[in-house]
């Protein structure tokens, strides 16, 4: 997992953490994230990885 900058990391973290999302068909980078990354099954793992990246 990688991000161009801290703003993109934070925006992705907020999107992944959201229980409900407003969708807009491929209008943003967030709508194009892989399903495994935004699915509820992987939410905690993805957020933990994002937290590790924040600390670097």
pTM (whole model) above 0.95:
no
Residue 32 lies in a domain: yes
Residue 46 lies in a domain: yes
1-56 per-position pLDDT tens digit: 888 899 999 999 999 998 887 766 666 788 788 889 888 999 999 999 999 999 88
pLDDT of 17 reads 92
Residue 1 lies in a domain: no
Residue 36 lies in a domain: yes
**Is 5 in contact with 12 (CB distance < 8 Å)?**
no
Residue 50 lies in a domain: yes
Token pair, residue 7, equals 């703003």
Range of the domain at 44: 6-16+27-55
Give CA–CA dist 25/22, Å, rounded: 10
Residue 35 lies in a domain: yes
pLDDT of 43 reads 93
Residue 22 lies in a domain: no
pLDDT of 1 reads 80
Residue 31 lies in a domain: yes
* Number of domains present in the structure of the chain: 1
| Residue whose C-alpha is closest to residue 53's, from 8, 20, 15 | 8
**Is 38 in contact with 15 (CB distance < 8 Å)?**
yes
Token pair, residue 33, equals 């994230």
Give CA–CA dist 56/54, Å, rounded: 6
């Amino acid at each position: 997992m990688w991000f161009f900058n801290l703003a993109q990391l934070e925006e992705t973290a907020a999107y992944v953490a959201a229980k409900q999302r407003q969708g807009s068909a491929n209008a943003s980078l967030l709508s194009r994230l892989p399903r495994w990354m935004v699915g509820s099954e992987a939410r905690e793992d993805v957020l933990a990885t994002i937290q590790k990246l924040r600390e670097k």
